[in-house]
Amino acid sequence: MNDQKLTPRISAPPLCSGLAGGGLIAIVAVTMSSLVSDSANDAYGICMACHGRDLLGWLLNSWLGLKLHISSQFTFYPAMTSLGVLVGAHFSARLRAEYRRHRSAGLIKPFILGTAVMVSALIAGGCATRLALRVAAFDITGATAFVAMTVAVALTTLAVRWWAMR
C-alpha cells in the first residue's frame, strides 16, 4: 500500500453542486424563455453550436455592422449560453480542485475535429438537446432526426470499438 497522503479536495456545500447549480440555471432559463418567447422557435434549447454561432454573429453584427443571420431571440442581446457554460465549468473545476492544465501535443487535429462537429451540428440541426425538445413538441422531423442520430451514434460506437480491437 502506498503511504503517500492524498491531496484533500475542497468540500463544497450542497448548494454549490453541479446538479443544484444546473437546476437553478434551468429554472432561470425557463422563466426567461417564458418572458421572452418566440413562437417560431419553440425548440431552441441550450445548443452550444447554435448559441456559439449566434454569439459570434451578434458580436460581428454589432461591432462591424455586418448582417449575419442570427436567431430572432438574440437580435437585441447576445446569446451568452456558451460563454456561461465555459465560465461555469472553469469555476466549478476550481471549486472542486479538479482543474488541471495540460499541454496538448497537437492543436491542429482537435481544432479540425471540433470544427467538423460544430459545422455538422449547424448543418443538420443536430444538437441532441434541440432534437429532444423537438420530440417533446411532437415534431415528426425532430423525431426522425433523433432516431437517425441515435442509430448513427450506435453505429459509430461499434465502428470505433471494432477499430480499437483489431
Does residue 50 lie within any of the structural domains? Answer: yes
Report residue 120 CA to chain centroid gap.
14
- For residues 113-135, one letter each, b for 16 or more C-beta atoms within 10 angstroms of the residue's C-beta and e for the rest, the string is eeeeeeeebeeebbbeebbebbb
Of 89, 84, 79, the residue nearest 41 (C-alpha): 79
Does residue 155 lie within any of the structural domains? Answer: no
**Least confident among 23-32, 125-134, 155-164:** 23-32
Over residues 79-89, mean pLDDT: 80
> Does residue 64 surpass a pLDDT of 90?
yes
Residue 61: what pLDDT? 92
Residues spanned by the domain of 98:
14-103
Does residue 6 lie within any of the structural domains? Answer: no
- Contact (CB, 8 A) for 56 and 19: no
Residue 69: what pLDDT? 84
**pLDDT-derived band of residue 11, with 50, 70 and 90 as boundaries?**
low
Does residue 132 lie within any of the structural domains? Answer: no
**Whole-structure pTM over 0.85, yes or no?**
no
Higher pLDDT among residues 69 and 30, named by residue: 69
**pLDDT-derived band of residue 63, with 50, 70 and 90 as boundaries?**
very high
Half-sphere exposure of 13 (CA within 13 A, CB side): 1
Of 100, 98, 84, the residue nearest 12 (C-alpha): 98
Does residue 66 lie within any of the structural domains? Answer: yes
Does residue 97 lie within any of the structural domains? Answer: yes
Provide the domain count of the chain.
1
Most confident of 27-36, 72-81, 142-151: 142-151
Over residues 69-88, mean pLDDT: 80
Does residue 140 lie within any of the structural domains? Answer: no
Does residue 113 lie within any of the structural domains? Answer: no
